[in-house]
Chain A
């Protein structure tokens, strides 16, 4: 599998490290953020931290180009075929302008 880094170009996957699903977003956790908390929020947070779907098909994933430009990427990949549909920079400093000249 080869990954086309938006900054470096196409590289072998040995230069990259896999993190996991890019979809989960940190839910509000009012109880630990200093508030009173709401019903069900602990369960939602547990889900966010620990529970992952085991996709058979297309998913978006975080990858880290540690052997290259050290950027975090979001890759849409088919876990059955390894076909990569898109690669873009994860939001953040510098990455916000990926591909911009």
Chain B
């Protein structure tokens, strides 16, 4: 009998090809990256237990859990609001412990946890033309005055459900948007994003955020 070795593979393995794509413009208007090697846990307060959940999150992550469409950065990860009384905790992959096990003791008794680490892909979009590109596939107003750094939304991109939030601006001043998408939709969404970005010129890369 052959022994099987299971190797973790991103659902975007085939789709993400590093380098320049689309229009041959000197400076790419869009930068697309796949962020790999993260732990992602959905935290869902049980009925009437939001206050206790928020308190536990504050103690563990060092930052108040978001009560509205916001993403906040704590010392152990980013907390992204995902609906009423719930958020997703995103952190670099530790590898040494199952994502849920690390949080079990923190939320025991008042919140339900669900490991989504391999259930979602994380795509980061930036570049000077990123808002124009996103406007083709999403109906949100992403203007700086309406969607500032730290703003988050559960919304749809090309009819695919996503968690979208705005990160700190890139060194060149371009806004940065993160998109969490279900793994099974990631390949399709990636191609949609590439198509809508092509006219501006694209720079593609993959980034690992694992803790070695």
A and B: bona fide binding partners? yes
B50 and A69: CB pair below 8 A? no
B84 and A89: CB pair below 8 A? yes
B69 within 8 A of A: yes
B143 within 8 A of A: no
| Residues in B neighbouring A66, C-beta threshold 8 A | 161
CB nearest to B46 among chain A residues:
A93
A94 and B161: CB pair below 8 A? no
Once the chains are docked, how many angstroms separate the CA of A67 from the CA of B140? 12
| Residues in B neighbouring A71, C-beta threshold 8 A | 83-84
CB nearest to B160 among chain A residues:
A67
Residue pairs across A and B with CB atoms within 8 Å: the count is: 56
A93 and B154: CB pair below 8 A? no
CB nearest to A99 among chain B residues:
B68
Once the chains are docked, how many angstroms separate the CA of A79 from the CA of B212? 58
B42 within 8 A of A: no
Number of B positions contacting A (CB below 8 A): 21
A7 within 8 A of B: yes
Contact A12 B154, CB 8 Å, known A71-B83, A94-B83, A98-B84: no
B82 and A69: CB pair below 8 A? yes
Contact A94 B86, CB 8 Å, known A8-B153, A68-B155, A69-B154: yes
Once the chains are docked, how many angstroms separate the CA of A14 from the CA of B155? 11
Q: Least Cβ distance of B109 to chain A in Å?
A: 16
B194 within 8 A of A: no
A11 and B69: CB pair below 8 A? no
0/1 string, B143-163, CB within 8 A of A gives 1: 000000000011110010100
Q: When the two chains form the complex, which single residue of B46, B69, B86 contacts A9, counting CB atoms closer than 8 Å?
A: B69
Q: Least Cβ distance of B177 to chain A in Å?
A: 16
| Residues in B neighbouring A11, C-beta threshold 8 A | 139-140, 155
A15 and B67: CB pair below 8 A? no
A70 within 8 A of B: yes
Mark out the residues of chain A between 6 and 53 whose CB falls within 8 Å of any chain B CB in the assembled complex: 7-9, 11-12, 14-15
B residues sitting closer than 8 Å to A (CB atoms) are 45-48, 50, 67-69, 82-86, 139-140, 153-156, 159, 161
